[in-house]
């Protein structure tokens, strides 16, 4: 997994991200296909369907915004290349905004199908994301940044954005 940009860079630029996102997308697609087309059950009607669609659009837009800010507006590539821990901006709200954005997007897509069974993919994706991050990137970052990263982990959520805590 050597996709380094600069000599001396300690972390890969892309890490396990593409694999995690692909796995979450596959779980979402399988859940939608099974619930809506194979089992054909769990479909919400009337105002519940409308509520799901509105919430779905809000989650999709929010997920895209969180991903965009984390990936393209945070200078994360430079932080990785310089082996610098990024804790400002959106990274003060959530440790993994790019993954969070994808998770929110997939949750929004599930809501668009207004199917109760498809919504089961949301917690499955959360568990998948949490396990993948604990077993890979969090270990790498703890090895690289030590106590600074451990303190950061205590202050900032892994996947659900929330305003920064004051110490």
The 10s digit of each residue's pLDDT in 27-73 is 999 999 999 899 998 999 999 999 999 999 999 999 999 999 998 98
DSSP state of 92: G
| pTM summary value | 0.88
Give the pLDDT score at 3. Answer: 46
Domain that holds residue 92: 17-155
Answer yes or no: is 160 within a domain: no
Question: Average pLDDT, stretch 118-124?
Answer: 96
CB 125 within 8 A of CB 24: yes
Give the pLDDT score at 1. Answer: 41
Average pLDDT, the chain: 89
Tokens of 41: 């059950």
The CA-based angle 83-97-113, given to 5 degrees, is 150
Answer yes or no: is 39 within a domain: yes
Rounded to an integer, what distance in angstroms lies between the CA atom of residue 21 and that of residue 9?
24
Answer yes or no: is 65 within a domain: yes
Answer yes or no: is 6 within a domain: no
Answer yes or no: is 7 within a domain: no
Answer yes or no: is 84 within a domain: yes
Answer yes or no: is 101 within a domain: yes
- For the stretch 138-160, pLDDT in tens is 998 999 899 999 999 999 999 99
SS3 3: coil
Answer yes or no: is 8 within a domain: no
State the burial class of residue 145 (Cβ atoms within 10 Å of its Cβ: 0-12, 13-18, 19+).
middle
SS3 6: coil
> Domains in the chain: how many in total?
1
Listed in sequence order, the residues at least 6 apart from 45 whose beta carbon sits closer than 8 Å to its beta carbon are none
Q: Cα torsion at 3, 139, 104, 93 (round to 10°)?
A: -100
CA 49 to chain centre: 25
């Amino acid at each position: 997994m050597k996709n380094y940009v600069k000599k001396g860079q300690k972390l890969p630029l892309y890490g396990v991200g593409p694999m995690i996102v692909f796995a979450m997308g596959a779980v979402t697609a399988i859940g939608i296909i099974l619930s809506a087309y194979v089992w054909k059950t769990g479909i919400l009607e009337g105002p519940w369907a409308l509520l799901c669609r509105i919430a779905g659009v809000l989650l999709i837009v929010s997920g895209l915004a969180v991903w965009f800010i984390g990936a393209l507006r945070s200078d994360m590539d430079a932080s990785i290349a310089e082996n610098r821990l990024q804790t400002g901006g959106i990274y003060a709200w959530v440790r993994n905004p790019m993954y969070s954005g994808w998770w929110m997007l997939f949750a929004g897509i599930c809501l668009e199908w207004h199917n109760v069974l498809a919504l089961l993919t949301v917690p499955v994706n959360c568990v998948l994301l949490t396990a993948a991050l604990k077993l890979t990137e969090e270990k790498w970052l703890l090895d690289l940044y030590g106590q600074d990263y451990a303190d950061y982990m205590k202050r900032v959520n892994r996947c659900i954005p929330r305003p920064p805590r004051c110490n």
